[in-house]
Structure 1
């Protein structure tokens, strides 16, 4: 299995409603993209986040599933929405689960 972690930082103009809509849309990907075993996303509440406001974890069956996820049209719609609402930066980490 493979774990995909994303941390997202937004511009000050991005609204809470836009961020909530992002979470709603992202969680739907589990039923749209093959190979996703689990997907979780939510608002950060730690004061150690360095400005990253939303965290995402996606668990995939294997690397092949992760590689198909990136270019999948449903995922690309999320990427487009992120840019539209003012994503400033992201950190991505992928690793094998032991």
Structure 2
């Protein structure tokens, strides 16, 4: 299994903006056949080094992760994120 984790820091860190982006991310659930697990969480510490949203996804293989990256639903999420994010970091590993 492959675990893909992305942390997002938003330009607008208001509760409304965070909630709207969480909804966009969660909307992928059930719409991408290779996506085995989807978890979205928001930061509770709000420290200077905190990111606002964490996304955890899981896939059966690297090929499935690659398919996810180009899936039309995910491409829509990328479009949204490119307008609202200030920064993002990710890690992918075998789990």
Interval of TM-score (by shorter of Structure 1 and Structure 2): 0.7 to 0.9
* 1:66-94 C-alpha deviation (Å, 9 max, x unpaired): 0011111111111111122x201100100
Matched pairs, number: 95
What TM-score, normalized by structure 1, do the two folds share? 0.84
Matches of 2:48 and 2:27 in 1, distance apart?
25
Unpaired segments ≥5 residues, structure 1 = none
What TM-score, normalized by structure 2, do the two folds share? 0.87
CA RMSD of aligned residues (A): 1.8
* 1:18-69 C-alpha deviation (Å, 9 max, x unpaired): 3212212212212111111110001112466713111010011111110011
Unpaired segments ≥5 residues, structure 2 = none
Q: Which residue of 2 is the match for residue 92 of structure 1? A: 90
Q: Which residue of 2 is the match for residue 54 of structure 1? A: 53
